[in-house]
Structure 1
Amino acid sequence: MGNLLYWAVMFLIVGIIAAAFGFGGAAGTAVEAARILFWVAVVLFVISLIGGLVGRGRSL
């Protein structure tokens, strides 16, 4: 999970740098990829949170 968040941050940084240099197409693509990776990370976090709460009720 941490690795996915790392890549989301890296795409965001690349997008910001590309926007600063005026590469409109590259900036838009990088920011969009960062946005998608962010939401994937949020969904995976919620799934693992729910799985942890459900698994807590079970006893082995």
Structure 2
Amino acid sequence: MIVLGLILLIIGLVASIPILTTIGVILIIVGLVLNLVPIGGTRRRVY
């Protein structure tokens, strides 16, 4: 999700499309939050 956000952010800045830049920033923030906050317990489950 972070990589997708970076790609959209770069495309939005190069093509000067503000909606892509906004979506890119939102995806980067959501990706960082999901990686830092443990959801569903403290252990990562491997199936």
Fold match by TM threshold 0.5? yes
Q: Does 1:12 align with 2:6?
A: yes
Give TM-score scaled by structure 1 length. 0.51
| Structure exhibiting the larger radius of gyration computed from Cα positions | 1
Q: Per-residue CA shift, 1:25-47, capped at 9, x if unaligned?
A: 12112211221111111113xx6
- Count of residue correspondences: 43
More helix by share: 1
List 4+ stretches of structure 1 deviating above 2 A.
Answer: none
Q: Percent identity?
A: 17
Q: Does 1:24 align with 2:18?
A: yes
Question: Structure 2: where are the runs of 5+ without partners?
Answer: none
Does the 8 Å contact 2:8/2:21 carry over to 1?
A: yes
> Which whole-Å CA distance do the structure 2 matches of 1:10 and 1:26 have between them?
11
> Which whole-Å CA distance do the structure 1 matches of 2:33 and 2:6 have between them?
13
